[in-house]
Amino acid sequence: MLLRGFGYWRRDPGVMLLGLVPAVLVFVFVVAGLVALGLSLPTLVDWATPFADAWQEGWRNAFRIAVSAITFGAVGVLAAVTFTAVTLAVGDPFYERIWRSVELDLGGEVPDEGAGFWRAVVDSLGLIGLGILTSVGVALLGFIPVVGAVLAPVAGVVLSGRLLAVELTSRALEARALPADARRAIRRAHRGEILGFGVATQLCFLIPLGAVFTMPAAVAGSTMLARSALDAIRPTTPVASGPGPSAVPPPGITAG
């Protein structure tokens, strides 16, 4: 789905180029913050670990280097999640155009409008909160002897990738007025696809400038992913009636 999202650079380059504007702006601020942290991190770690001053120089330096690496890795996870959250909120009008272009291209029922700017802001704040918890967990994993050095970065990519995928697929689901429990049920039924999409997106974010060019493609790909999940339940599930956009409940969710 992410590769198909990149295909929209060829199909609708004008709309995709609009998606670069908020991505570039937020990317500059995130990178500036990471550079500032990297420059000040040795001083901060020395200040935070005064108990290591009495250690032998080799052990002290190794410990503080490890703490610095774990801290920067955890902040990197938070930075990736924050980049996505803030970019989606700031660039909501731009990404709604990408979402609508993909929806119309896929055909079928298309909601009149997305969830809206303030809904995007609320979702972004929630994503940042989850990102903070994830970064703390990744940092703690990094301190596990022997396996922590491998476990922490892998967990960081997997956990942050899932958060990204959940947030990116929210637009197409919320635009159809699906309640929270219905959205969760849909994601559970397609957890493998959602996790794979999120991890692939997160890995692209790790490439220099990858986050900027991947963000519009991720919006397009996540729209196709959400529509694929919705289309999978349409043949056997009735459409909920009532005012507003039609809502398609997932298996196990009663329309009401």
pLDDT in tens, 7-45: 988 888 888 888 898 999 999 999 998 899 889 988 998
Residue 234, number of CB atoms within 10 A of its CB: 12
Distance from C-alpha of 110 to C-alpha of 123, rounded to nearest angstrom:
22
* Whether pLDDT at 244 is above 60: no
* Predicted local confidence at residue 113, as pLDDT: 61
Distance from C-alpha of 161 to C-alpha of 123, rounded to nearest angstrom:
16
Per-residue pLDDT averaged across 82-98, rounded?
A: 86
198 — pLDDT class (breaks 50, 70, 90): very high
> Position 12: which residue type?
D
3-state secondary structure at position 247: strand
As a whole number, the mean pLDDT across the chain is 81
Per-residue pLDDT averaged across 240-256, rounded?
A: 42
Place of tokens 């380059």: 13
H or E element at residue 223: helix 210-233
CA neighbor of 48 nearest in space, from 58, 40, 36, 57: 40
> Position 130: which residue type?
L
* Predicted local confidence at residue 238, as pLDDT: 42
54 — pLDDT class (breaks 50, 70, 90): confident
H or E element at residue 248: none
* Whether pLDDT at 81 is above 80: yes
Q: For residues 234 and 128, which has the higher predicted lDDT (pLDDT)?
A: 128
Distance from C-alpha of 45 to C-alpha of 59, rounded to nearest angstrom:
14
* Predicted local confidence at residue 112, as pLDDT: 66
Is residue 14 within 8 Å of 229, Cβ to Cβ? Answer: no
CA neighbor of 31 nearest in space, from 211, 188, 201: 211
117 — pLDDT class (breaks 50, 70, 90): low
CA neighbor of 135 nearest in space, from 72, 47, 68: 72
Q: For residues 6 and 138, which has the higher predicted lDDT (pLDDT)?
A: 6
